[in-house]
Structure formats: structure tokens, C-alpha cells
Amino acid sequence: MSRAHGRLAVMLAVVVLAACSEKPQTNAEGVKHDAVPWSGTGTAANTGTAFSAPGWKVGEKVAWEQQLKNRAQNGQNEYNKD
């Protein structure tokens, strides 16, 4: 009976240790750099969609940053809501 327990313990140890291994996560194509966020959301370059905020000028970094400030202050600030 002790041999069966020993084999069971060895098999359990192998399963537990196998679960701890991890395959390397490499990207064969290298690093993919995304476009800057203010470049637009449409399929063509520098185009917006129906989901773009009104008043946002596509492709302008300053307008993008201003839109984010307005959104954070007016739309997401619970103290300003009535």
C-alpha cells in the first residue's frame, strides 16, 4: 500500500509542478506602435466618427487635451453635478 501512496505522491508532484510552468510570450513581429490618440477614430487618417465628441478638432493635440480636461471636469466630477 505504501508503494501506491508513493507513486500517487510523485504523480501529484509532477502535475503540480507542470502547472507552475509558463510558456514564453514573444511577439514574432516585434513591437507594434499605436497611433497617437489625437489622430482620429475613423478608418482614414485624421477622421472622426459619430462617436467623436463635438468641438474636438481631429488631429490637434491641444484640442484633444482640452477635450479631456473638459470631460474630466464637467462629465466625471460628481461635485459639479446637480
pLDDT digits (tens, 9 = 90+) for 4-53: 888 999 888 888 887 777 777 777 777 777 778 887 776 665 566 677 77
Distance CA 9, CA 13 (A): 6
CB 60 within 8 A of CB 66: no
- Give me the pLDDT at residue 34, please: 79
- pTM for the model stands at 0.45
Q: Which parts of the chain fold into alpha helices (H)?
A: 2-19, 61-70
In angstroms, the CA 73 to CA 56 distance is 16
